[in-house]
Structure 1
């Protein structure tokens, strides 16, 4: 039985530059901006061998979650309309909400767990999280599981 891979979520700014360049080269290939690995590698300033060495190990977070069920944990102020505004952001983003679980408010806040299918997102996962976090009455928004 082989060793199971371990995965980490790491802020892109903390990654070595080679990983960011490999991710960009993969994006160029997927969008057709580069027709070959050689073209993509040259555009981002890496060797083909570096691309092949890391191509299967590097994926943007949004790609990893695309088409998957993701659980969002959101802490809301206990104010009328806050949950409704958050749900509206999800609807406008193209996420398909599958479950909503809100705890009883305590200490002026309520924890809400939202399970959503993300294949229809019209924005990146990061943009969705940022929009929710900016909404009046939202204390915190994060991905709990995906």
Structure 2
């Protein structure tokens, strides 16, 4: 995985697909649509376009001055993976608030971590890069951020 860099861009210069992706996320977040299929239909967007951009675009307010973050992981089911994952999070200065892990199926487990980032000693991009580089991490994404 390559390192990620973030940019601040005005909404009016974003491609239509990105603006619609934000609209879909907003409908789902606020409970105005029960599914991705319903939300993309309401904004006249294909599901494939939504999935292409959903992990790449976020409203500015969700990325600034946040204290809490929720991360979703898909992990290979191996002994010690959760411990190793938590060690990376702790080294970044994050405090784990909640952990939810599913029962492993077909050699994979889903894990959600809610973190307090008040004491974070590196930026979120650096942490996400370190987490993606762990050999047992198949997927990691930011599910949400809050104050």
Q: TM-score, normalised by structure 2?
A: 0.57
- Name the residue aligned to 2:143: 144
Decide which of 12, 18, 23 is 2:7's aligned counterpart: 12
- 1:12 is paired with a residue whose SS is coil
User: How is 1:46-61 mapped onto 2 (pairs within 5 angstroms)?
Assistant: 61=63
Which structure has the higher relative contact order (CA within 8 Å, separation 6+)?
2
Q: Is 1:119 matched with 2:114? A: no
- 2:74 is paired with a residue whose SS is strand
Figure out how many residues of one structure are paired with residues of the other and give that number: 93
The Cα of 1:140 is off from its aligned counterpart by 0.8
Q: Kindly provide the CA deviation profile for residues 60-102 of structure 1, in whole angstroms up to 9, marking residues without a partner as x.
A: 93x342xx21111011001111111110001100001011110
- Name the residue aligned to 1:102: 101
- Name the residue aligned to 1:130: 129
The Cα RMSD (Å) is 2.4
The Cα of 1:59 is off from its aligned counterpart by 6.6
